[in-house]
Structure 1
Amino acid sequence: MKTKFLLLSTCITMSFFISCNSDEKTNDGSAKTITNEEIITNSKIDASVDDVTNIAEDQFSSQININAKPGGPIKNFLPSCATITTVLTNNTWTKTVDFGVEGCTLNNGNTVKGKMIVSFSNDFSSSTQTISYTFEGFYHNGRKLQGSKSIVRTIKETNLLVTAHPVSTAAIDLTITFDDGSVYTRKGTLIKEMTSGYDTWFDWDDNVFVVTGSGTTTFPNGDTYSAEITTPLEFNALCRKSFAVKGIVSITKNGASATLDYGSGECDTLATVTKDGVTEEIDLKK
């Protein structure tokens, strides 16, 4: 009888663990839960997207204002170690930004190396411009970026700001290879409004951007991580951080959901994550 009882107990225990395991996995073996590690990984990709967008828009701004006289001290986004080559061909400006093989450190602390090639029309009288860019051996914080991206930049009034200001719509289609060899893809659309600093082109530090939009990240195991900005994200250049200081993002993956709240304006790398009614603070820089 003891043998039968132990055998029955073992079967019940095994059935319990098998049942629990099936609750945590989808039929194809991918995890249902959203981990903090996945949120941090996705935020690292966000930082890469934000920086390359800023580099492209900075090159457009520097070209359009090349003959303008600054109204104060010049505070650039790009470090002095970046080498910029500018060529005009058939009414198209092409600017190659070379950060070298050793790399450079941006003013927000992120490191970049390799080249970005940025191009746009020389018709600066148009209120709408398309800025395109590609990469050549380009790395952001040790992660290799491949693919292309286009930014449609318009000067207009919006619900956020009645004064005409730069509004950029960015189409994203990138492959990101981490230093451990894992490969991620990011696709999406972001709308970025420059709500402050647009009239002082020479001072990057007074820029404030408000971002809306959505995107999906495909992880190496095939999981699709979807993020939608439900409360506009605010980025303050003076903070010298590649993370939002305000705003909320809704996240879904394999039926699971979470929200990421960037806070109320503090210049830090902290955010709060809410999953299944439980809220905790995480450091996105880790």
Structure 2
Amino acid sequence: MKIKSLILSTAIAVLALSCSKDDSNNAASNDLSDAKVNAKIDLVTEDVSKIVDEQFALQANPSAGRNSQEVSALPSCVTVDIQLTANSWTRTLTFDNCELPNGNVLDGTIIVSGSLNFDAPSQTISYSFVDFHHNDILVEGNRTVVRSIQSTSAQAAPHPVANMSIDMHVTFPNGNEYHRVGNRIREMIEGFGTPMIWADNVFTISGNWTTTFPAGTRTSTITTPLRAEANCPHIVSGVITTVRDNNTATLDYGNGDCDNQATLTVNGNSTTITLGN
């Protein structure tokens, strides 16, 4: 009987240990999957930020970008309809499965609008989506960007600062839905002295947001400012840190190289991921 009890106890212990390892592996797998979802939503936010900022710049400086140094965020397949009233402008962008320079594919409509008083100390730009998809992810919501000229810790000289309010609902192709709220601050730290040339523009991006997943929330903060350069279709450096319960993930965009690779680290375990479509 003692031998049988010992064998039974050992079997139970082994089974418990096996289940514990399986639970740990499943948790790690879920954390990695959640981090990749966050990275995809980050791409949506960055592309929308870039498009909204460019549409304002085009409206404020209609002659900008009409030279060999221009690198536009929009491919030629996008249809742009411009409507003007006495005091405001509206630019309706219609995408038909258009591929951006960074490889992401957009379909549907983004509507961007603002005031024609470009001499005001700040500009409020509104944007909304109509049946808009980013790499087959349905994007819904409408928010604002407050754009001003000011000094910041990133750049002492007065420069353009765009503070984007995020309230975005996305639905992935598998039916999973996510809701993100927060803010994203995009500062032009180089190139603001040459408004007719975009290719020399360099941006630093900061901010924080909360994303609601089907199984809880994740809080993200840009812990090292992201760097975006107009002559590169990808973010070239910076780190986003995301926290869920006691689990931490970081997305590191690298050391300045223009590529679509980033290092995703979840609870100390790192892997290289390819960003984009």
Q: With the length of structure 2 as denominator, give the TM-score of the two structures.
A: 0.88
Aligned residue in 2 for 1:28: none
Q: 1:73 to 1:263 in 2, by over 3 A?
A: closer
Asked if 1:239 is matched to 2:232, the reply is yes
User: Which position in structure 2 is the counterpart of 1:255?
Assistant: 246
With over 3 angstroms needed to count, the CA separation of the structure-2 counterparts of 1:238 and 1:168, relative to structure 1, is same
In the alignment, which of 212, 219, 238 is matched to residue 206 of structure 2?
Answer: 212
Deviation string 1:171-199 (CA, Å, 9 cap, x unpaired) is: 10111111222211111111110112334
* More divergent stretch after superposition (192-201 vs 166-175): 192-201
**Consecutive unaligned residues in structure 1, runs of 5 or more:** 26-30
Amino acid at match of 1:252: V
- Matched letter for residue 217 of structure 1: T
Would the aligned equivalents of 1:33 and 1:256 in 2 still touch at CA under 8 Å? no
1:207/1:278 CA distance change after superposition, 3 Å = same
**Percent identity, aligned pairs only?**
38
Preserved CA contact (<8 Å) 1:196 1:206 = yes
SS at match of 2:231: helix
On the 8 A contact 1:217/1:224 being kept in 2, the answer is: yes
SS at match of 2:141: strand
Task: Find 1:40's aligned residue among 36, 41, 62.
Answer: 36
Q: Paired residue for 2:169, among 169, 172, 175?
A: 175
SS at structure 2 position matched to 1:192 = strand
Check if 1:225 corresponds to 2:218. yes
**Cα 1:71–1:238, aligned 2, differ >3 Å: closer, same or farther?**
closer
* Structure 1 contact 117–134 (Cα < 8 Å) conserved: yes
The whole-number CA distance in structure 1 between the counterparts of 2:258 and 2:153 is 25
Gaps (5+ residues) in structure 2? none
Tell me what 2:102 maps to. Answer: 108
**Shift of the alpha carbon at 1:6?**
3.0
Per-residue deviation at 1:61? 1.0
Alignment counterpart, residue 142 of structure 2, candidates 142, 148, 165: 148
TM-score (ref. length: structure 1): 0.85
SS of 2:118's partner is coil
* C-alpha deviation, 1:152, in angstroms: 0.5
Q: CA distance change for structure 1 residues 167 and 177 in 2, over 3 Å: closer, same or farther?
A: same
On the 8 A contact 1:115/1:136 being kept in 2, the answer is yes
RMSD of aligned Cα (Å): 2.6
SS of corresponding position for 1:171: strand
Shift of 1:124: 0.9
Query: How many equivalent pairs are there?
Result: 276
Distance 1:179 1:24 in 2: 25
